[in-house]
Amino acid sequence: ESVPLEMHKVRIVQKLNLLPIDQRLKAISEAGNNTFLLQNADVFLDMLTDSGVNAMSDQQLAAMMVADDAYAGSATYTRLADKLHEIFGMDYFLPTHQGRACEHILAKVLVQPGTVVAMNYHFTTTKAHITLQGGVVEELVADAGLEVTSDLPFKGDIDIAKLEAVIKKYGADKIAFVRVESGTNLIGGQPVSLKNLADLRKVCSQHGILYVLDASLLADNLYFNKIREESCKNLSIREITRKVADLFDIIYFSARKLGCARGGGICIRDKELYFKMRGLVPLYEGFLTYGGMSVREMEALAVGLEETMDEDMISQGPQFIACMVNDLDKRGIPVITPPGGLGCHLDAKRFVDHIPQSQYPAGALASALYIVSGIRGMERGTLSEQREPDGSEVFANMELVRLALPRRVFTLSQVKYAVDRIAWLHENRRLIGGLEFIDEPPILRFFYGLLKPV
C-alpha cells in the first residue's frame, strides 16, 4: 500500500475540539441542517472547503513582514505582478479581493443578454454572475466526465464536438468566451488535459472566440498533468504551467485556493481588453495596485505562486485525497473515482439512495456526517443549484458531499478517522432522512438557507 509522505514539517498548531454527539446534534439543528451555518468552534475537522484555509509556509509568513504599505504604487504589488508575468507570461494584471470578483468583472465586461459562456462545467459563483448579466451557461464536459465512477484520467475535458455544436447553434459572435475550469470543482476536482486545452485553443482561434482559464484549482491540475499525461512526464511544473498559460487570452483565479489564503486576480494578454476591464477594479475592488487585497496577502501570494511550481508542494493534496478515496472505495463506499484534487467526494445518490433528489440527499448526508463525526463537509448537489426563473428545481447531475482536504492541514490519522466515521455512517445509512427548506433565499441559497428533516 502506498502511503503519502509529507515533504514538510508542522511548526505551528491549532487546538481542535470534538464536542459530544448530543451537542453536535443541537448545533446542526440550530444551523438549519446547513453546514455553512455551523460555528467553527463546534467543528472537529473542517472539510467544508480549501478556500482560504490551506496551510501557509514559513516563507510566506516571513514575506508578509516585509510587505510595502501604500495605497498606490506599492512595491509589493510590483513583486506580485512580476511573479505572475514570470509564471504565466501575460503582460497585464488586475488584482481583486477574491475569485468571484474576477467573475463579476469578466461578466460585466464580456456578457450581455443573449450571449453564451461555454465551459466544461459551471462553478456556483461563476454561473450566478453570468446569469445575472443575462447570459447563458453551456456545460460541455464530455459525458464520460459525469460518470461518478471511472478510471478516466481527465474527466474535466470538454467534448470538442459539443463545443462545435454550441458555436453552430448560437453563432460564434454570441459566444462571450470559452471558459475552462482547471481541477473542475463541482464534478469532483477533476483535471483537464493539456491536450484538450490545446485542441480547444484551435477551435477558439478558428472562430475568433476569447479563451479564458479559471486557474483557481490549477495546482492540483498541474500535478495530474505531470503524472497522468505522457507529454508532460518530462516537463517541470513550471514548464507545464507555461504551456497551459500560453494557450489562453485571460487567466483568472481565486488566490484563496491558488498561492495564498486571500485575494484573486485577472491576467490578461491583450491591452485593449485590459483597458476595458481596468475601470471596474477601482470601482468595485480597490485601487489598481491592491484591488481589495492587503499588501501582506499580496506578498504571501507572490511567494505562494512560486511555491506552486514545486512538485513536492503540489503533490501533497492529491496524494492525501487518493489515500482517502481509495480506502473508502475498497470498503464499498460510493465515492467519485478516480481521485481528483480538492477533496474526497461522497456520492450521495448511491450512499443514501432511499432519499429522492427533491429532498436534497447530499445535504442530508452532510448533516448526518457532522452529527456522527464532527466533520464538516459541503453539499454539492441540488441544494447548490439555483431554481429556474419559473421556480422549478434544477436537479443536479451529481449529488455530492465534498470533504475538502485543505493542503498540508490534516494528518493521515485525521484522514483515517474520517474514513472510519464515514464507514460507520454507511453501515447505518438507513437512519438518514431527507430535508426540506424552512427558509430559502433566492440567490446562492446553499450558503444560508435553513432546512429541517422531512
Q: Which residues are catalytic?
A: 71, 123-124, 214, 257, 380, 446
**Encoded amino acid at 404, one letter:** A
Residue whose beta carbon is closest to ligand F0G: 99
Query: How many Cβ atoms are within 10 Å of 420's Cβ, its own excluded?
Result: 13
Q: Residues 156, 190: contact at Cβ < 8 Å?
A: yes
Q: Identify the CA nearest to 182 among candidates 253, 275, 114.
A: 253
**Encoded amino acid at 301, one letter:** L
Whose Cβ is closer to ligand F0G: residue 217's or residue 267's? Answer: 217
Q: How far is the CB of 90 from ligand F0G (least distance, A)?
A: 18
- Which residue bears the cell 479563451? 211
Q: Residues 42, 24: contact at Cβ < 8 Å?
A: yes
Q: How far is the CB of 224 from ligand F0G (least distance, A)?
A: 15
Whose Cβ is closer to ligand F0G: residue 341's or residue 374's? Answer: 341
Q: Which residues bind ligand F0G (CB under 6 A)?
A: 49, 51, 98-100, 123, 125-126, 181, 185, 214, 216-217, 254, 256, 264
Please tell me the distance from the alpha carbon of residue 106 to that of residue 202, in angstroms, as a whole number: 22
Whose Cβ is closer to ligand F0G: residue 182's or residue 326's? Answer: 182
Q: Identify the CA nearest to 220 among candidates 338, 130, 79.
A: 338
Q: How far is the CB of 333 from ligand F0G (least distance, A)?
A: 22
Please tell me the distance from the alpha carbon of residue 370 to that of residue 156, in angstroms, as a whole number: 29
Q: How far is the CB of 211 from ligand F0G (least distance, A)?
A: 16
Count CA within 13 A, CB hemisphere, residue 38: 29
Whose Cβ is closer to ligand F0G: residue 50's or residue 434's? Answer: 50
Q: Residues 229, 194: contact at Cβ < 8 Å?
A: yes
**Encoded amino acid at 273, one letter:** L
Task: Let me know the angle formed at the C-alpha of 71 by 70 and 75, rounded to the nearest 5 degrees.
Answer: 40
**Encoded amino acid at 268, one letter:** I
Q: DSSP secondary structure string, 6-24?
A: -SS------------HHHH
Whose Cβ is closer to ligand F0G: residue 138's or residue 214's? Answer: 214
Q: How far is the CB of 52 from ligand F0G (least distance, A)?
A: 8
Please tell me the distance from the alpha carbon of residue 324 to that of residue 3, in angstroms, as a whole number: 11
